[in-house]
Structure 1
Amino acid sequence: MDGGAAVKEELLDKRHHQQEGFIKEFGSESKTLWKLSGPAIFTYLCQYSLGALTQTFTGQVGALELAAVSVENSVIAGFVFGAMLGMGSALETLCGQAFGAGQIRMLGVYMQRSWVILLVTACVLLPIYIFAPPILSFFGESPEISRAAGKFALWMIPQMFAYAMNFPIQKFLQAQRKLMAMAWISAAVLVFHIFFSWLLILKLGWGLVGAALTLNVSWWLIVILQLIYIFYTKSDGAWSGFSWLAFQDLFGFIKLSLASAIMLCLEFWYLMVIIVIVGYLDNPVVPVDAVSIW
């Protein structure tokens, strides 16, 4: 009996040590994970909030204004956002491999290569903004909302080119774990955006013009501040200046970018389809507003 009790106690003690080891390892891994993912989550929340806050402020101007911003933000810009983010995500794979292999200088080359491809893509997608009213009307959106959203879309063209610059920069910085810099910049721009949205849209009464101006400036401010950070710090050797290597092997880069874009666009199209279908309802302004807020 004494021997059996000793063995049982030894097994319980061994199990207890295993549990303690698991908890300790889990805590260590979780701490490392949140150290990386926490700033990234915060960054994406801040940047997503730019469009959401613009909708919130324009909703105080009028129902049609809210519908115009919602359709442009969710359908037109949403389509472009998904395509740009998806194509930029190809850089995540390449930069991660280069960083792991110690080829730090290639991170800057890959970022420039992605800029070339995404800026060309932005030019290809430009007709979606220019011809937004007939495109929206073709898919069943009401004429009133289509005209208002199309007008707002023309003013939001600079945002599309900011997307083309911003997403490669994000992947470039993420590969080097420089996430806190992105988080601080996004937080500062969010504060700027809130104040000037209130000032231009509500206080000065500029309406959709103020919304477009503030949103464009905010996105480009993120790009400019991140570029200043990269150019000033050199990113520990990852940035060594502009290079003609950015124009080499573009075809292979495009194939990888397109695969990423298609995968991510499918997720964004779900919301886009709902917004468009709601436009078929009678008196669609209020339903479109409601769905966009949801």
Structure 2
Amino acid sequence: MESSVDETLLPSEKGEGEDLKGRIWSESKKLWRVAGPSILTRLSLFGMFVVTQAFMGHIGEIELAAYALVQTILLRFANGILLGMGSALETFCGQSFGAKQYHMMGIYMQRSWIILLSTAVLILPLYIFATPLFKLLREDDDLAEAAGKIALWFIPINFYFVFNFTMQVFLQTQLKNSIIAWLAAISFTLHILLSWIFVYKLNLGVSGAMGSMVLSTWLTIAGEFVYVFGGWCPLTWKGFSKSAFSELWPVVKLSVSSGVMICLELWYNSVLILVAGYMKNATIAISAFSICLNITAWELMISIGFLSATSVRVATELGRGDAKAAKFAVKVVSVTSLSIGVVFFVLFLALGNAISYAFSSSVEVAKAVSGLSVFLSFSVLLNSVQPVLTGVALGAGWQSVVAYVNIGCYYVIGIPLGILLGYLTSLEVKGIWIGMMCGIAVQTLVLICITGRTDWSLQVEKASARLNKWLLPDASDSSNNNSHA
């Protein structure tokens, strides 16, 4: 049977004989085949949240602050758990693709669906009881009431994450992620149009802005289901299988490790938003801080695109058994992402004072955002390196190690330092941001050291042992053999 899987990610036999320039060019092409569509996808999908925030800012200050509170605390908490646990699929699918165990990829995705759907149901009370939760955290009563109403709109988004994360990994591993990029771009365009109609033309306010986001996000999922179930992945998707319910425990263990690793990163900013909520002018502080975080997070989608490409390239080469190619892929993607980060660093330095007015009509909020523009620029520079190193961890299966690193750098260094600078000095929100950057900087340095000292040949052996341990026979091949007997 002729393979329908695109194997251009796999190393060519003549790669060893190429000069350095040729090897860099060859690796860059493989990198951008994954990173390009992934970046467009993430920019579009996260852009929906940014666009919704912009519309909320023009509805009113209390709505903007309430949306920021839900998005940066509740949604990021849930997103961290689901994205983190779903990222284990990058290790499984990437290494299975490299080892040509194509039929296992669909089984691994189904196992992830079982685990993530169960997790998403357990998270629901956070959205349902958001108002008493925020009051318990001593947020302003009016803010907590408004946030509780907005939180209910995020329940469909909670389940959207389950399928979006898993199918995106499943498709990008086999170089079929261009379909996701197109779906995301169409959904993003539709979201802008619907938001404008619902908020400005029909005056639906918060319901219009949130309803538009729910419709647009699930349009992407509908398109992905049609593509996967419609026969465009014949070697990797062979229908629903009872095998998805077997060997769940190893997947759960790696999913939990991945979940802890990613959660600790995403919750970091949420904790700092919560800290900002206890300042004198909480509404302004939360709004300004969340706008800056969303700006950096939107730019971070580019680096997360490289994170995905890194995890795919590393996992694929480890599955193939090529340690040198995995190490070289890490070097190329690191330099590429850092170069783009420098460009955005300069751009945000130049436009920092003007960018805030796109998100709020409030002069006070705009001034607060402008005051953070320099810190915003340095955060963008740091964020161009750190996600790539996280991608290396996902591709190699180091989730547990990085989880410990994140605890030390974020929660022992970053948050305590941010609280001290924010409350014991006159820096306030700037002090919190400085603490956040220090935590990220230390984490980046530690991950650079870990990656630099890695024995890639040993990682190849570990990947091979993992894949062989969980390999199941391809049922369709058995049935084909029986039919020809």
Output the CA distance in 2 between the equivalents of 1:252 and 1:26. 36
Aligned to 1:162: 160
In the alignment, residue 122 of structure 1 is paired with which amino acid?
A: A
Output the CA distance in 2 between the equivalents of 1:283 and 1:196. 33
Aligned to 1:23: 21
Deviant stretches of 4+, over 3 Å: none
Pair 1:179 & 2:177 matched: yes
Q: 1:290 aligns with which of 288, 307, 315?
A: 288
Output the CA distance in 1 between the equivalents of 2:156 and 2:66. 17
Q: Deviations over 1:196-252 (max 9, x none)?
A: 011112221111111221111122111111111111234132111111222112222
Alpha-carbon shift at residue 54 of structure 1 (Å): 0.4
Q: 2:61 aligns with which of 55, 60, 63?
A: 63
Output the CA distance in 1 between the equivalents of 2:226 and 2:232. 10
Aligned to 1:49: 47
Could you say what the CA RMSD is over the residues aligned between the two structures, in angstroms? 1.5
Alpha-carbon shift at residue 253 of structure 1 (Å): 1.1
Q: Deviations over 1:10-53 (max 9, x none)?
A: xxxxxxxxxx9322332232232122211111111111111111
Output the CA distance in 2 between the equivalents of 1:121 and 1:220. 19
Aligned to 2:193: 195
Output the CA distance in 2 between the equivalents of 1:32 and 1:118. 30
- TM-score, normalising length from structure 1? 0.89
In the alignment, residue 63 of structure 1 is paired with which amino acid?
A: E
Q: 1:33 to 1:117 in 2, by over 3 A?
A: same
Aligned-partner SS, 2:237? coil
Alpha-carbon shift at residue 258 of structure 1 (Å): 0.6
Aligned to 2:132: 134
Q: Deviations over 1:31-81 (max 9, x none)?
A: 321222111111111111111110011111110111111111111111111
Aligned to 1:230: 228
Matches within 5 A, 1:209-220: 209-220=207-218
- The answer to whether the Cα contact below 8 Å between 1:234 and 1:240 also exists between their aligned partners in 2 is no
- The answer to whether the Cα contact below 8 Å between 2:33 and 2:175 also exists between their aligned partners in 1 is no
Aligned to 2:258: 260
Aligned pair count reads: 275
Aligned to 2:117: 119
Structure 2 regions of 5+ residues with no counterpart?
A: 1-17, 293-485
Aligned to 1:272: 270
Output the CA distance in 2 between the equivalents of 1:140 and 1:206. 30
Q: 1:245 to 1:93 in 2, by over 3 A?
A: same
- The answer to whether the Cα contact below 8 Å between 1:58 and 1:201 also exists between their aligned partners in 2 is no
Aligned to 2:311: none
Structure 1 regions of 5+ residues with no counterpart?
A: 1-19
Output the CA distance in 1 between the equivalents of 2:109 and 2:244. 8
Q: Deviations over 1:247-286 (max 9, x none)?
A: 1122221111010010001111121012111211234222
Aligned to 2:141: 143
Aligned-partner SS, 1:238? coil
- The answer to whether the Cα contact below 8 Å between 2:198 and 2:208 also exists between their aligned partners in 1 is yes
Output the CA distance in 1 between the equivalents of 2:243 and 2:22. 46
- The answer to whether the Cα contact below 8 Å between 1:140 and 1:277 also exists between their aligned partners in 2 is no
Aligned to 2:80: 82
Higher Rg of the two aligned structures: 1
In the alignment, residue 216 of structure 2 is paired with which amino acid?
A: S
- TM-score, normalising length from structure 2? 0.55
In the alignment, residue 227 of structure 2 is paired with which amino acid?
A: Y
Aligned to 1:92: 90
Alpha-carbon shift at residue 95 of structure 1 (Å): 1.0
Aligned to 1:17: none
In the alignment, residue 174 of structure 1 is paired with which amino acid?
A: Q
Output the CA distance in 2 between the equivalents of 1:24 and 1:177. 22
Output the CA distance in 2 between the equivalents of 1:25 and 1:175. 21
In the alignment, residue 206 of structure 1 is paired with which amino acid?
A: L
Stretch of structure 1 that moved more, 158-167 or 137-146 = 137-146
Output the CA distance in 2 between the equivalents of 1:33 and 1:168. 20
Aligned-partner SS, 1:53? helix
Larger fraction in helix: 1
Output the CA distance in 2 between the equivalents of 1:140 and 1:93. 40
Q: 2:206 aligns with which of 205, 208, 220?
A: 208
Higher relative contact order (CA 8 A, sep 6+): 1
- The answer to whether the Cα contact below 8 Å between 1:98 and 1:104 also exists between their aligned partners in 2 is yes
Aligned to 1:73: 71
